[in-house]
Structure 1
Amino acid sequence: MSTITYTIDENVATFTIQSPPANALSSTLLSDLAGRLDEIENDSSVKAVVIRGEGKFFSAGADIKEFTSLQNESDYKMLAAKGQRLFDRLERFHIPVIAAIHGAALGGGLELAMACHLRYVTADATLGLPELSLGIIPGFAGTQRLPRYVGAAKAYEMILSAEPITGKEAVEAGLATRYFEGEGELFESAGQFARKASAKSGPSIHKVMQLIPYSHNAQYEEGVSAEGDAFAAIFGTEDAKEGVQAFIEKRKPAFKDQ
């Protein structure tokens, strides 16, 4: 069974992440997302996509338990590269993709949301990159996309503290587009915008989606590559092993700075 289901209505595809209990971004989920994007690319009738999560969360992060099955630095580098390529593809998709975030978008979940073109959130949603609390770092371009939205100082604060911000705070910081008081209003509004965008001419939509990414800094790709290398290197440290194990055991990690 796919971890991502989708429906199409009025030229809008809605992707629903279904990987209980926390919609963690496993390798399977990433592969399923790539497959869904393939399907939409072959359906010219679809002019916008909404991504949402089933249950309590948008996505509470990467599948940390799956990380423990990886052994070598090259394995972690391949994992980072897989996620980075997929999210870069999403960001450069030929039609707009709107993330409708409720509950939490943390770690890899926020990295997925940041690769979307708009982020609609509930006011009480939590958004953050908590990787440093596990002795690791973001690996799916989080260190590169977050400063683009919130500026360097806020990105340092969010990543180094490992503490999330609310949906309302995310809008104020520039990370999210709009916030809503409840899930019903969130999902309805995300769908309304998607339908409004999809009412436009397909060729004009495609050109806009091609042109806006030109505004990205030329060093972005270098930064993403450097993040992948650092992600792989960090996973080889004793602190990373301790942090991940502490997360699994639901205890505070005892880091030794090595």
Structure 2
Amino acid sequence: MELKQEMARSLLKTSSLSVRTKLLHQTGLSLYNTSHGFHEEEVKKKLEQFPGGSIDLQKEDSGIGILTLNNPSKMNAFSGVMILQLLEKVIELENWTEGKGLIVHGAKNTFSSGSDLNAVKALGTPEDGMTLCMFMQNTLTRFMRLPLISVALVQGRALGGGAEFTTACDFRLMTPESEIRFVHKEMGIIPSWGGATRLVEIIGSRQALKVLSGALKLDSKKALNIGMVDEVLQSSDETECLEEAQEWLKQFIKGPPEVIRALKKSVSSGKELCFEDALQNERDLLGTVWGGPANKEAIARRRKFDT
């Protein structure tokens, strides 16, 4: 009996995730806290002072969510309230167990022009800039780690913070006349929502330096050539391109949610963790689906075809 208990304890020990791995997939985790001088509630009170627009979320029965940046009078720029709502929607998506995919787009056929300048002007001190940076890095890192396959649908223009948001998605699609441009240098700043770090991962350090230091206008052809986007859609019509994006995404989310979500988590681990921790996490994720309903059904189907 004691031997069995010891074996069980040993198995539990070897199966336990590393601290880093646990942090990667812990719902609600923030990169920054009070030890970094980040006080989330204080930041929220400041952001509440800048209303306008909304972040809208529609969850389809297909398992695809549609996240809409909705502030068309300002090219869907992020107001303070929209920044707060984005975090609320990310938390909602973290708890959407039936979700498999997500499309992010802007209202009225444009993506986003970044931050609302009224808020930027009012939050003008270096301390304000740092706290806003930490808030958005927290939010977009949680967004990036969602167990959903995400797609940024870029219609019109994605500028500044809008361009940064596209890099937090797994894939990017553009309409023929759209553009992505990191205009931060022209504003006398650098990307601060994690956009530079993620851009290096997407297109490499040399190309990222060119794009950022040149504030290059990436039209759909150029963005496709450097690997910034995965495909250029046929239509520029707001409704039609959204339908195209949904059809494009559906090819990657066929199957039960638990399998798609485990796949996304395993890729996130491979991207963010050291090799050994990523392997351990892949093993533990396998334990959530091996012998599960989808696995048993697939085996039964295969046996039927083989007989």
Q: Quick one: which of 227, 245, 262 aligns to 1:174?
A: 227
Q: Deviations over 1:166-215 (max 9, x none)?
A: 02211111111111232245322211133344431222112211121234
Q: RMSD between aligned alpha carbons?
A: 2.0
Paired letter, 1:213: S
Residue 134 of structure 2 corresponds to which residue in structure 1? 81
SS in 2 for 1:25: coil
Contact 2:177 2:236 in 1 (8 A): no
Offset of residue 90 of structure 1: 1.0
Paired letter, 1:77: M
SS in 1 for 2:122: coil
Residue 16 of structure 1 corresponds to which residue in structure 2? 68
Confirm or deny that 1:190 pairs with 2:255: no
| CA distance in 1: counterparts of 2:141 and 2:206, whole angstroms | 24
Confirm or deny that 1:28 pairs with 2:81: yes
After TM superposition, the score normalised by the length of structure 2 is 0.66
Confirm or deny that 1:201 pairs with 2:265: no
Contact 1:125 1:167 in 2 (8 A): yes
Confirm or deny that 1:135 pairs with 2:206: no
Going from structure 1 to structure 2, the CA distance change for 1:104 and 1:42 (only over 3 Å counts) comes to same
| CA distance in 1: counterparts of 2:177 and 2:199, whole angstroms | 20
Residue 113 of structure 2 corresponds to which residue in structure 1? 60
Paired letter, 1:31: L
After TM superposition, the score normalised by the length of structure 1 is 0.78
Greater shift, 85-94 or 176-185, is seen at 176-185
Contact 1:120 1:186 in 2 (8 A): no
Unaligned residue ranges in structure 1 (runs of 5+): 220-258
Offset of residue 71 of structure 1: 4.0
SS in 2 for 1:83: helix
Offset of residue 218 of structure 1: 6.8
Q: When the two structures are aligned, how many residues end up with a matched partner?
A: 219
Bigger RCO of structures 1 and 2 (CA < 8 A, at least 6 apart): 1
| CA distance in 1: counterparts of 2:178 and 2:160, whole angstroms | 14
Confirm or deny that 1:156 pairs with 2:209: yes
Residue 239 of structure 1 corresponds to which residue in structure 2? none
Q: Quick one: which of 79, 94, 100 aligns to 2:153?
A: 100
| CA distance in 2: counterparts of 1:31 and 1:198, whole angstroms | 29
Offset of residue 86 of structure 1: 0.9
| CA distance in 2: counterparts of 1:116 and 1:127, whole angstroms | 14
Deviant stretches of 4+, over 4 Å: none
Paired letter, 2:123: L
| CA distance in 2: counterparts of 1:23 and 1:151, whole angstroms | 28
| CA distance in 1: counterparts of 2:225 and 2:187, whole angstroms | 27
Q: Whose radius of gyration is greater, 1 or 2?
A: 2
Residue 15 of structure 2 corresponds to which residue in structure 1? none
| CA distance in 2: counterparts of 1:165 and 1:110, whole angstroms | 10
SS in 2 for 1:89: helix
| CA distance in 1: counterparts of 2:235 and 2:146, whole angstroms | 28
Paired letter, 2:187: L
Offset of residue 139 of structure 1: 0.7
Paired letter, 1:208: L
Unaligned residue ranges in structure 2 (runs of 5+): 1-51, 275-307
Offset of residue 45 of structure 1: 2.5
| CA distance in 1: counterparts of 2:142 and 2:161, whole angstroms | 16
SS in 2 for 1:123: coil
Overall identity of the aligned pairs, in %: 23
| CA distance in 1: counterparts of 2:176 and 2:126, whole angstroms | 39
Q: Deviations over 1:95-139 (max 9, x none)?
A: 111111100111100111110111111122111211111111111
SS in 2 for 1:127: strand
Contact 1:58 1:105 in 2 (8 A): yes
Offset of residue 16 of structure 1: 1.4
